[in-house]
Structure 1
Amino acid sequence: MYAEAVEAGRVALSQGAWPVARARFEAALEAAVTPEALEGLSWATWWLEDAAACLDAREQAYRLYRQAGDARGAARMALWLGDDHNEFYGAGAVAEGWFNRAARLLDELESCPELGWLRVFEAHAALGGHDTERARELAGEARELGRRHGAVDLEMFSLATEGLALVEDGAVEQGMRCLDEATAAALGGEYESLAPAAWTCCRLMSACEEIRDYERGAQWCRQIEEFSRRMEARFVTGVCRAHYAAILSWHGRWSEAELELIGAREDLTAKRPYWRAEAVVRLAELRRRQGRAAEAAALFDEVASHPLAKRGVAELCLDRNDPAAARDVLDRMLRRIPAGSVARAWPLELLVRAETALGDNESAAIHLAEFGSIAATVATPPLRAAARFGEGLQAAAAGDHAKACGCFEDAVDLLDGMAPFEAGHARLELARSLLALGRTDAARREARTALEAVAVPRRDQAELLTSLGLQGTVLSLRQVEVLRLIAGGLGDREIAGRLVISEHTVHRHVANIYTRLDCSTRAAAVSRATQLGLL
């Protein structure tokens, strides 16, 4: 009875049948309380997000392994208890205690897979501190232990960790090859345990977002989501949906992104605060792009420790025409990231914008040179475009608008058809330089094209739009969406359903559209927007 139930539980775990696995291990424990059955139960409850039951089972298994003199088993439970306290509760001190306990137990043993898992957890901690050299060393040691002991999940997850460290070091091509291979092995069913398979997928998606390789991310997202749904792994599905929403947002598909993020926030329950933050911070960024600054700020505050939240706060400061506050946030971020790390790209890019706005062109030039070096190394189109945009800002600040136009045109060409929001901002800056050169008609064309993509122009663009006779025609992207649906013959209730908003919100958008377009009927608003090239 006991042996059959344990084996049935292990089979159910390998198939992602978590409730069945839990029932089988509980049946086994009714026959005999053993550390093996408790360990199996801990994994079933881990996937079911029953944190209390998971920790209780692991602690009982730890004690029984210790009583039986099984140091490997006890160390294994200590390692997972450390990870659990981080993931479920964010209790870093408790987690460190369990990791240290595992390390002391493993000191007494010969080479074993558990030592490899300790090393890969240490590598993860080193990555968090941007110590990529140490992370690569530890991950390489863990990978070799996995290979030596035939533990494919350890070997491949270590390869993914090594790949992420390589990417952060700027060895992007080599690092992404490691991540692609490890993810293929994970989705191909090679991992003995499904938890490291899920973590490998997250490593890959994080790297894609870091280097702005959105096409690669989109390809893997579809594969990962299919895998996670098959395994009924809500938190993996949620993380995947959050990353996919970031890709949709980048491509300007904001309504779809919003639906994905709402779903992701539901998948990533409050039982896993670390993972839930992945959806919340990206929803905040979407709100910022939509011009809903107050909502964005509140969401960024909700997950303030997340690196993307810090970036978002800096961008909000720039949107509010407060470059000094943005610089304060960005300087603090950069102090914590070592020179040469790809992770410096975002703060450097924004710092160039902030310092240029403050007139500190010397500092901006220094930071632009560093950012340009990272962009050239990574070489994805979005990063190359961002570097050209920064060069355009510098040239315009120096009064060289002919050069600035060339830079902004390059940025637009790299972004057009891929990232309408970023392309829109590049077009607005291009329009500014064209206007400075006396090319008013060309400036007006660029600004009109930009307005369709940009949710709410920044305050420092108001003078430009007014001088081009376009300030009164600015609509938010949401208002453009509503107006397009009106043009398609939809009523308020249908629009509310399509955009997942209330009818009251639709009424408010329509009223604001009338005000901005100086119209009093739907037909007149559609006609006016069409004339202005907004539809």
Structure 2
Amino acid sequence: MKYATQSAQDALSAGREALARGAWEEARAAFEQALAQEETPEALEGLSWAANWLDDAAATIESRERAYRLYRERGDRAGAGRMAIWLANDYSDFRGEPAIADGWFQRARRLLEGLEPAPEHAWLTLLEGYMIFLAQHDTTATKQLTEEALTLSRGLGQIDIEIAGLAQKGFVMVREGEMAEGMRLLDEAATAAVAGELKDPIAIWMACCYLINACEQVRDYDRARQWCAKVEEFCRRYRIRPLFAFCRTHYANVLMWHGAWAEAESVLESANNELAATRPGLMPEGIVRMAELRRRQGKWEEAAELLEQLESDPFAQLSRAELALDQGDSATAADLAERFLRHIPAENRGERAAGLEVLARAQAALGNAAQAANTLAELKSVMAPFATNPLRASVSFAEGVIAAAAGDGETARRRLEDAVDLFKQSSAPFEAGRARLELAKVLVALGRRDAAEKEARAALNSFQKVGAVRDAARAEAFLQELKAGTREAGSEASNLTRLTRREREVLRLIAQGLSNPKIAARLHISEHTVHRHVANILTKLDLPSRAAAAAFAARQGVL
């Protein structure tokens, strides 16, 4: 063995030098040789870092727990506190056990209490802020702890912790709507990380991941693509596998947005397999992204199975809301979107925007015009600080859908045209296709059949290129009906056969002008059940709104 003839101290020094070079296997061998001669907490701590970057969860945790005990026996509170901090991080990322992680955090805080300010205090404060955000999405508490960590790190001259803190601060600022300043901080932190200014891989991890995550949040996919490429190059050079795998799940979302679904699927499968084997605590985001891809592909059953693994995860709930909306179950979609929003504090504007967007469309589909308008107003207020084209496109799309549901064809046309243009500028073929198909429906209602056919064919082409099977089928059905002349009157009568007896009863009461609560009272069923029936009616009849359903019923004599 290379280190067999070295003293324990020499092997310890060699291990630390190898860690600094990113030579994880070499560092592990050196620390193991030092431990073969004498078990010290320093050698165990070094071994834990080598094992950490080699994704050996068992060795990482075992080494740190042994080092913790030895530091305690020695009376070294700072050393024991340091191990407690990183054990908290291990139990979160490696094991996905937040309660145990919190216990280690509390132990670290008690051990470090009363000691002179040291790097351990700064790391503890910074990582507590990170964990609070993960668990509670509380940007206010996270920001407060991050500022404390920044003050400590600057006073101690700890550049790695300071840069990690700047990244965390920028990330929180973006979530709260301070996009310009937040992104400047994130760009600065990531630049310092990949330029070699930082020495601690954890600080590098935080700087890079926060930036890419923030880009995704505001849908600045071009910036995300640029940084993903830079970070991947850095990860390959220094063999930082965990950051590489986690980064790839985010990069898959960029690919998904741009319509490169086959590549996105390959990236996600590889990254998720690696995270499952090494860091299951980081898996939920990858699972949700794979479910989102399956939803877009039209593989609804597979999407549902994936999301069942994360029943209580807020973002899984939001993905389930999108899936329910695709399936025509607007009531469930609204319930899930509202459930998601209850988890997200008002200050966290970035995450609330995604939930409000889904909720507004679900409410419009249910015929709740006033509620949809209120949700849209909140959505526009929340999104105001975020000026990216993809977000502007999403707002325009929601406005168009809501205007169509309210029977305001001209407003719907303008907003959906804006959405198509903005989605195209953002290189988002699937989203542009969906906006085009909704626009085609509005154009038919306005009597502009040629323009409607053009938009529907463009939508079909987009869906076929990316592999959106169910959406392509919807576009084909629309074109067939348009060609046969059934989009306006022709075969409406036959559509009634698609409805159940109860759905016909609900349609009759809609035509009489009854609200959902009054329909529920009349039929002695819950309002939630009425919501479901209305959603099914609109889906089966391919109608955009409650008002359209009432007009349909009048034409067919369902009164």
Q: Which has the higher contact order (CA 8 A, sep 6+)?
A: 2
Cα deviation 1:112-134 (Å, max 9, x = unaligned): 11111111122113323232222
Q: Which amino acid aligns with 2:65?
A: E
Paired position in structure 2 for 1:401: 409
C-alpha displacement at 1:461, in angstroms? 7.0
Q: Contact 2:249–2:285 (CA<8 Å) still a contact in 1?
A: yes
Paired position in structure 2 for 1:479: none
Q: Contact 1:45–1:53 (CA<8 Å) still a contact in 2?
A: yes
C-alpha displacement at 1:192, in angstroms? 2.8
Paired position in structure 2 for 1:428: 437
Out of 95, 100, 103, the residue aligned to residue 97 of structure 1 is 103
| Percent of paired sites with the same residue | 50
C-alpha displacement at 1:437, in angstroms? 0.8
Out of 459, 471, 481, the residue aligned to residue 467 of structure 1 is 481
Out of 373, 386, 390, the residue aligned to residue 382 of structure 1 is 390
Q: Which amino acid aligns with 2:386?
A: V
> Superposed, which structure 2 residues align to 1:86-485 within 5 Å?
86-128=92-134, 129-340=136-347, 341-417=349-425, 418-454=427-463, 455=468, 456-457=470-471, 464-469=478-483
Paired position in structure 1 for 2:40: 34
Give 3-state SS (helix, strand or coil) of 2:196's partner: coil
Structure 2 distance, partners of 1:170, 1:334, is 17
Give the direction of change, closer, same or farther, for the CA distance of 1:305–1:235 in structure 2 (3 Å limit).
farther
Cα deviation 1:367-394 (Å, max 9, x = unaligned): 1011112222111111101111111112
Cα deviation 1:148-205 (Å, max 9, x = unaligned): 2122221111111111111111101111111111111121222232123113222112
Q: Which amino acid aligns with 1:9?
A: G
C-alpha displacement at 1:395, in angstroms? 1.6
Show structure 1 runs of 5+ residues with no match: 472-535
Structure 2 distance, partners of 1:457, 1:112, is 57
| Residue 76 in structure 1 maps to residue 90 in structure 2 | no
User: TM-score by structure 2 length?
Assistant: 0.81
C-alpha displacement at 1:462, in angstroms? 8.0
Q: Which structure's CA Rg is the greater one?
A: 2
Structure 1 distance, partners of 2:327, 2:307, is 15
Give 3-state SS (helix, strand or coil) of 2:363's partner: helix
User: TM-score by structure 1 length?
Assistant: 0.85
Q: Contact 1:320–1:458 (CA<8 Å) still a contact in 2?
A: no
Q: Contact 1:14–1:194 (CA<8 Å) still a contact in 2?
A: no
Aligned residues: 472
Structure 1 distance, partners of 2:484, 2:284, is 39
Q: Contact 2:380–2:395 (CA<8 Å) still a contact in 1?
A: yes
Give 3-state SS (helix, strand or coil) of 2:384's partner: helix
Structure 2 distance, partners of 1:461, 1:339, is 38
Q: Which amino acid aligns with 1:216?
A: R
Q: Please say which of residues 268-277 and 454-463 is displaced more in the overlay.
A: 454-463
Q: Please say which of residues 386-395 and 434-443 is displaced more in the overlay.
A: 386-395
Q: Please say which of residues 343-352 and 23-32 is displaced more in the overlay.
A: 23-32
Show structure 2 runs of 5+ residues with no match: 1-6, 486-559
Q: Contact 2:429–2:462 (CA<8 Å) still a contact in 1?
A: yes
Paired position in structure 1 for 2:73: 67
Structure 2 distance, partners of 1:244, 1:18, is 26
